[in-house]
Amino acid sequence: MNKRGFTLMELLVYMAIVGIVVVIAGQVYSDSTKMRIRTQGMIRANEAVENVGSLIRDDLGQMGAKSSWVDRAMSSDSFYVAQETFMDPVNGDYSSFFLKKNGSADARKDSLAFRYMRYDTEGKYKGVHQISWYVEDGILWRVCKPLATDGTDYEACPADAVPVEVTDGVESFEIVPATPGVLDGAENTVLFPPGSANEFRFVSRYDGSKYFRATIVPSEGGETVTVRGFVSNYDFDQEEVTVEKKVNEFFAAGKNGTDDEWENLCTQMTFVPGTNYEISFKMLNLSERDRAQMFVAGKDHLAVGFRNLDGSSTPIRDFVFYPPMADDANDVLRVMNFSVRDSVKNVCLAFNVAAYSPLLSMGSLNFTSLKVQKSMDANYTFDSDYEPQVVDKKNVKAFRMKLKVKKNNEFGSVSLVIPVPSNGVGNH
């Protein structure tokens, strides 16, 4: 049996190989450790911003809540609006927030305070709270302060208003209010009815061949206007739709008793690009036997839109609608939103009724709360430099929150758009 050992050369080669393996393995281990630490840092940073984002979204979404159900022995009115939710109504600030911008554009450390009403499980008033978010020494803090209560304590919002640390390592915390689609100082927010009145009238278009008059009551107009006596496109003798297409078209005008053609009486409006508009109205079902309830979708036609003064169509498409089928639909506000690519000038609001079923022409349509106005923009626009005027704060309906956090030299960030529909809403 040969028991020869290593020669010196073989031993040196062996040691060199082992050394290389150890160096490689050590580097791999070191890289693995560094990657693990980086991964943990990224996970921590992203978990932090996601958790903070969820909390802020839940907080901000309550902003401006101010109405509750209360039991009052001395009054039948059980609907209560908490005035404490307004920031400074004496000086015209009917919003529910205060925002202070701090820091540079790349390292904003904003502060936000806002108010809301707290309810119990039955929707009854429990108190008004003010919540503040701010950054101090790289730490994001949250404070809840009770402004008014029903006499009971709430553990999540103690009277001593102790700040709670939310997360550290904050690199930036930016809160931007959405630019309102309609500014309070804007002229002619309501385009129709003219002036500050809620009254209007309808004027029929007539040519004796296609367009026919309907009966309009009251003829001079009012807050509610009824239209009936529609021309029919149904032949009762033949029990079929006629070849002719007859239409009742009536135009919206300000209330007055003047007798003239529709193009001389209708209220002219102009629409420009970059602004959102809406047509809104309610329809009343005043009788459970009204034949308008026999409207046949897909056959009968009800629409509202705009016409030029020569009666031609405009680039704004008509909106189709249906009559109410029950009296519980009387409070439903019908809203049609639109915008224009190019300016549309000197046009009038027109309603069209084309009755093809046997009974619709015998019914009546009752209109109220008719308006054409500039509307709030549902597609929120954000400008980091925007600071709303006091009178416009109540028109802010969303905020954008951007948060950037650093953990173990790794960054996590989140950007959220948070609607605040209750801000500025209420009786005042």
CA angle, 381 as apex, 377 and 386 as ends, to 5°? 120
Query: Does 249 have pLDDT greater than 90?
Result: yes
DSSP secondary structure string for all residues of 325-376: SSGGGTTPPEEEEE--SS-EEEEEEEEEEEB-SSSGGGSEEEEEEEEEEE--
The reported pLDDT for the residue numbered 53 is 87
Bridge partner residues of 405 (DSSP): 170, 412
**Closest residue by Cα to residue 306 from 275, 269, 354, 337:** 269
Rounded to whole angstroms, the Cα distance separating 119 from 129 reads: 11
Considering 200-204, 321-325, 375-379, the range whose residues carry the highest mean pLDDT is 200-204
**Tens digit of pLDDT for each residue in 377-408?**
556 788 888 999 998 898 898 999 999 998 87
Say if residue 324 is exposed, middle or buried (CB neighbours under 10 Å; 0-12, 13-18, 19+).
Answer: buried
- Tally Cβ neighbours within 10 Å of residue 427: 8
Considering 61-65, 292-296, 331-335, 346-350, the range whose residues carry the highest mean pLDDT is 346-350
The reported pLDDT for the residue numbered 181 is 66
Strands 139-149 and 319-320 turn out to be: unpaired
Band (pLDDT 50/70/90 cuts) for residue 19 is confident
Rounded to whole angstroms, the Cα distance separating 347 from 251 reads: 10
Considering 22-36, 44-58, 138-152, the range whose residues carry the highest mean pLDDT is 138-152
The reported pLDDT for the residue numbered 226 is 96
With tokens 């693990």, the residue in question is 36
The reported pLDDT for the residue numbered 77 is 39
Name the more confident of 58 and 203: 203
Band (pLDDT 50/70/90 cuts) for residue 190 is confident
The reported pLDDT for the residue numbered 309 is 96
Query: Does 32 have pLDDT greater than 80?
Result: no
Query: Does 186 have pLDDT greater than 80?
Result: no
Query: Does 78 have pLDDT greater than 60?
Result: no
Rounded to whole angstroms, the Cα distance separating 77 from 69 reads: 9
Q: Domain-by-domain residue ranges, the chain? A: 52-181+389-419, 190-374
Band (pLDDT 50/70/90 cuts) for residue 188 is low
pTM beyond cutoff 0.85: no
**Tens digit of pLDDT for each residue in 135-145?**
999 999 999 99
Q: Are 108 and 174 in contact (CB under 8 A)?
A: yes
The reported pLDDT for the residue numbered 30 is 58
Counting every residue written for the chain, the total comes to: 428
Query: Does 74 have pLDDT greater than 50?
Result: no
- From 20-24, 34-38, 201-205, the region with the lowest mean pLDDT: 34-38
Considering 210-219, 234-243, 269-278, 321-330, the range whose residues carry the highest mean pLDDT is 210-219
- From 44-53, 260-269, 341-350, the region with the lowest mean pLDDT: 44-53
Band (pLDDT 50/70/90 cuts) for residue 182 is low
**How far are the Cα atoms of 31, 86, 155, 163, 409 from residue 406, in angstroms, in the given order?**
21, 36, 31, 21, 6
**Tens digit of pLDDT for each residue in 124-134?**
788 899 999 99
Band (pLDDT 50/70/90 cuts) for residue 16 is confident
The mean pLDDT value for 43-60 works out to 83
333-337 long-range contacts (CB < 8 A, ≥24 apart) are 333/280, 333/281, 333/282, 333/369, 334/280, 334/281, 334/282, 334/283, 335/278, 335/279, 335/280, 336/278, 336/279, 336/280, 336/304, 337/276, 337/277, 337/278, 337/375, 337/378
**Tens digit of pLDDT for each residue in 269-297?**
999 987 888 999 999 988 888 898 889 88
Name the more confident of 8 and 245: 245
- From 84-98, 219-233, 411-425, the region with the lowest mean pLDDT: 411-425
The DSSP code for 392 is: G
The mean pLDDT value for 119-125 works out to 75
For domain 190-374, the question of CATH label 2.60.40 is answered with no
Phi, psi angle pair for 365, to nearest 5°: -120, 125
Residues contacting 72, CB < 8 A, separation 6+ = 78
Q: Are 109 and 175 in contact (CB under 8 A)?
A: no
On average, the pLDDT of the chain sits at 85
The reported pLDDT for the residue numbered 72 is 43
The mean pLDDT value for 361-369 works out to 94
The mean pLDDT value for 59-67 works out to 85
**Closest residue by Cα to residue 356 from 288, 298, 290, 283:** 298
**Closest residue by Cα to residue 252 from 308, 215, 306, 200:** 200
- From 55-69, 73-87, 250-264, 347-361, the region with the lowest mean pLDDT: 73-87
The mean pLDDT value for 294-319 works out to 93
Dihedral (CA of 95, 98, 101, 106) sign: negative
